[in-house]
Amino acid sequence: MGYQPELVGGHLLLDLLNTVSWRLDDSRWIDRLSTPAALADWCAAVGLSATTRSTTSTAVLEEVARVRETAYAVIRALARGEEPAEAELEAMRVLLVEALSRAKPVGACPLDWATDELPVMLVLAAAKLLEHEDLSRLRECQDDDCGWLFLDRSKNGSRRWCSSADCGNRARAKRHYQRVRAGQS
Ligand SMILES: [Zn+2]
Protein backbone atom coordinates (compact mmCIF):
# COMPACT_ATOMS: atom_id res chain seq x y z
CA MET A 1 0.00 0.00 0.00
CA GLY A 2 1.26 3.47 -0.84
CA TYR A 3 1.62 6.53 1.33
CA GLN A 4 -1.64 7.66 2.88
CA PRO A 5 -0.99 11.08 4.41
CA GLU A 6 -2.95 12.35 7.38
CA LEU A 7 -4.38 15.65 6.21
CA VAL A 8 -4.81 17.53 9.47
CA GLY A 9 -3.21 20.88 8.60
CA GLY A 10 -6.39 22.57 7.36
CA HIS A 11 -4.43 23.98 4.40
CA LEU A 12 -2.65 22.38 1.46
CA LEU A 13 0.68 23.93 2.40
CA LEU A 14 0.47 22.84 6.02
CA ASP A 15 -0.32 19.31 4.85
CA LEU A 16 2.87 19.49 2.81
CA LEU A 17 4.89 20.62 5.85
CA ASN A 18 3.42 17.68 7.77
CA THR A 19 4.94 15.12 5.41
CA VAL A 20 7.85 14.89 7.86
CA SER A 21 7.01 12.83 10.93
CA TRP A 22 8.74 13.31 14.30
CA ARG A 23 10.25 16.47 12.96
CA LEU A 24 11.69 17.60 16.29
CA ASP A 25 13.36 14.30 17.17
CA ASP A 26 16.50 13.65 15.12
CA SER A 27 16.51 9.94 15.93
CA ARG A 28 12.97 9.40 14.64
CA TRP A 29 12.72 12.07 11.89
CA ILE A 30 11.04 10.50 8.82
CA ASP A 31 10.55 12.11 5.42
CA ARG A 32 7.35 10.56 4.06
CA LEU A 33 8.04 12.03 0.61
CA SER A 34 11.22 10.07 0.12
CA THR A 35 10.34 8.56 -3.25
CA PRO A 36 8.61 9.88 -6.39
CA ALA A 37 5.88 7.27 -5.81
CA ALA A 38 5.20 8.64 -2.31
CA LEU A 39 5.01 12.14 -3.77
CA ALA A 40 2.50 10.91 -6.36
CA ASP A 41 0.44 9.35 -3.55
CA TRP A 42 0.50 12.64 -1.64
CA CYS A 43 -0.60 14.59 -4.73
CA ALA A 44 -3.50 12.20 -5.21
CA ALA A 45 -4.52 12.51 -1.55
CA VAL A 46 -4.59 16.32 -1.65
CA GLY A 47 -6.29 16.39 -5.05
CA LEU A 48 -3.40 17.74 -7.09
CA SER A 49 -2.68 14.84 -9.41
CA ALA A 50 -4.92 16.09 -12.19
CA THR A 51 -3.38 19.56 -12.26
CA THR A 52 0.29 18.70 -12.15
CA ARG A 53 2.62 16.98 -14.52
CA SER A 54 5.92 15.14 -13.99
CA THR A 55 5.39 14.77 -10.25
CA THR A 56 7.23 11.50 -10.26
CA SER A 57 10.76 12.62 -11.02
CA THR A 58 13.57 12.84 -8.50
CA ALA A 59 14.27 16.43 -9.55
CA VAL A 60 10.72 17.45 -8.67
CA LEU A 61 11.01 15.57 -5.39
CA GLU A 62 14.11 17.58 -4.48
CA GLU A 63 12.45 20.84 -5.41
CA VAL A 64 9.38 20.01 -3.35
CA ALA A 65 11.60 19.20 -0.35
CA ARG A 66 13.33 22.57 -0.73
CA VAL A 67 9.97 24.38 -0.81
CA ARG A 68 8.78 22.39 2.18
CA GLU A 69 11.80 23.02 4.37
CA THR A 70 12.03 26.70 3.47
CA ALA A 71 8.35 27.28 4.18
CA TYR A 72 8.50 25.23 7.38
CA ALA A 73 11.16 27.47 8.90
CA VAL A 74 9.08 30.60 8.30
CA ILE A 75 5.68 29.19 9.16
CA ARG A 76 6.79 27.39 12.29
CA ALA A 77 8.28 30.62 13.64
CA LEU A 78 4.94 32.35 12.99
CA ALA A 79 3.06 29.49 14.67
CA ARG A 80 5.21 30.04 17.74
CA GLY A 81 4.52 33.76 17.69
CA GLU A 82 8.13 34.46 16.75
CA GLU A 83 9.61 36.64 14.05
CA PRO A 84 11.07 34.41 11.29
CA ALA A 85 14.83 34.83 10.85
CA GLU A 86 15.89 37.22 8.11
CA ALA A 87 17.73 34.46 6.20
CA GLU A 88 14.61 32.28 6.29
CA LEU A 89 12.42 35.08 4.94
CA GLU A 90 14.98 35.81 2.26
CA ALA A 91 15.00 32.12 1.20
CA MET A 92 11.19 32.25 1.00
CA ARG A 93 11.34 35.45 -1.06
CA VAL A 94 13.78 33.86 -3.52
CA LEU A 95 11.43 30.89 -3.95
CA LEU A 96 8.48 33.18 -4.51
CA VAL A 97 10.23 35.30 -7.15
CA GLU A 98 11.31 32.14 -8.93
CA ALA A 99 7.80 30.67 -8.73
CA LEU A 100 6.17 33.80 -10.11
CA SER A 101 8.64 33.86 -12.99
CA ARG A 102 7.48 30.33 -13.90
CA ALA A 103 3.73 30.92 -13.42
CA LYS A 104 1.23 32.49 -15.79
CA PRO A 105 -1.06 35.32 -14.75
CA VAL A 106 -4.75 34.54 -15.21
CA GLY A 107 -7.82 36.73 -14.85
CA ALA A 108 -7.81 40.45 -14.26
CA CYS A 109 -9.66 40.95 -11.05
CA PRO A 110 -8.59 39.37 -8.85
CA LEU A 111 -5.31 38.44 -10.48
CA ASP A 112 -4.24 34.87 -9.91
CA TRP A 113 -1.37 32.65 -11.06
CA ALA A 114 -1.57 29.37 -12.92
CA THR A 115 1.01 26.63 -13.28
CA ASP A 116 1.15 22.92 -13.83
CA GLU A 117 4.51 22.62 -12.07
CA LEU A 118 4.05 21.15 -8.63
CA PRO A 119 6.89 23.01 -6.83
CA VAL A 120 5.68 26.32 -8.24
CA MET A 121 2.12 25.51 -7.21
CA LEU A 122 3.29 24.80 -3.67
CA VAL A 123 5.23 28.04 -3.34
CA LEU A 124 2.15 29.94 -4.50
CA ALA A 125 0.11 28.02 -1.90
CA ALA A 126 2.59 29.17 0.75
CA ALA A 127 2.20 32.78 -0.37
CA LYS A 128 -1.60 32.46 -0.22
CA LEU A 129 -1.45 30.96 3.25
CA LEU A 130 0.71 33.84 4.48
CA GLU A 131 -1.40 36.51 2.78
CA HIS A 132 -4.95 35.31 3.17
CA GLU A 133 -5.29 33.05 6.19
CA ASP A 134 -5.86 34.17 9.76
CA LEU A 135 -2.36 33.47 11.07
CA SER A 136 -3.46 33.96 14.67
CA ARG A 137 -5.01 30.50 14.13
CA LEU A 138 -1.69 28.94 13.18
CA ARG A 139 -0.55 26.37 15.75
CA GLU A 140 2.18 23.87 16.36
CA CYS A 141 1.22 20.47 17.80
CA GLN A 142 2.07 20.46 21.50
CA ASP A 143 3.75 17.08 21.39
CA ASP A 144 7.47 17.58 22.15
CA ASP A 145 8.67 15.71 19.07
CA CYS A 146 5.87 16.06 16.51
CA GLY A 147 6.42 19.49 14.96
CA TRP A 148 3.29 19.36 12.82
CA LEU A 149 1.50 22.60 12.07
CA PHE A 150 -2.19 23.32 11.56
CA LEU A 151 -4.79 26.04 11.38
CA ASP A 152 -6.95 25.82 14.47
CA ARG A 153 -10.46 26.25 13.11
CA SER A 154 -12.17 25.22 16.35
CA LYS A 155 -14.69 27.76 17.64
CA ASN A 156 -12.86 28.59 20.84
CA GLY A 157 -9.35 28.21 19.40
CA SER A 158 -8.44 25.44 21.81
CA ARG A 159 -7.02 22.77 19.52
CA ARG A 160 -3.66 21.56 20.86
CA TRP A 161 -2.83 18.49 18.84
CA CYS A 162 -2.25 17.71 15.18
CA SER A 163 -4.55 14.77 15.77
CA SER A 164 -6.42 13.96 18.95
CA ALA A 165 -6.28 10.28 18.00
CA ASP A 166 -2.51 10.39 17.67
CA CYS A 167 -0.48 12.99 19.63
CA GLY A 168 -3.47 13.88 21.81
CA ASN A 169 -4.02 10.26 22.71
CA ARG A 170 -0.35 9.73 23.53
CA ALA A 171 -0.36 12.76 25.80
CA ARG A 172 -3.44 11.47 27.63
CA ALA A 173 -1.81 8.05 28.07
CA LYS A 174 1.34 9.72 29.41
CA ARG A 175 -0.60 11.81 31.91
CA HIS A 176 -2.49 8.72 33.03
CA TYR A 177 0.75 6.77 33.50
CA GLN A 178 2.26 9.64 35.51
CA ARG A 179 -0.83 9.80 37.73
CA VAL A 180 -0.71 6.06 38.34
CA ARG A 181 2.98 6.24 39.20
CA ALA A 182 2.45 9.22 41.48
CA GLY A 183 -0.31 7.27 43.23
CA GLN A 184 1.98 4.34 43.81
CA SER A 185 4.88 6.24 45.38
ZN1 LIG B 1 1.33 16.00 16.70
Q: What is the distance, to the nearest Å, from the Cα of residue 179 to the centroid of all Cα atoms in its chain? A: 34
The whole-number pLDDT of residue 180 equals 85
Q: Which residues of the chain fall short of a pLDDT of 70?
A: 53-55, 185
Q: Is 158 helix (H, G, I), strand (E, B) or coil?
A: coil
Q: Please give the distance, rounded to the nearest whole angstrom, from the Cα atom of residue 17 to the centre of ligand 1.
A: 12
Closest C-alpha to 67, from 137, 139, 9, 19: 19
pTM of this structure: 0.91
The whole-number pLDDT of residue 54 equals 58
Q: Please give the distance, rounded to the nearest whole angstrom, from the Cα atom of residue 40 to the centre of ligand 1.
A: 24
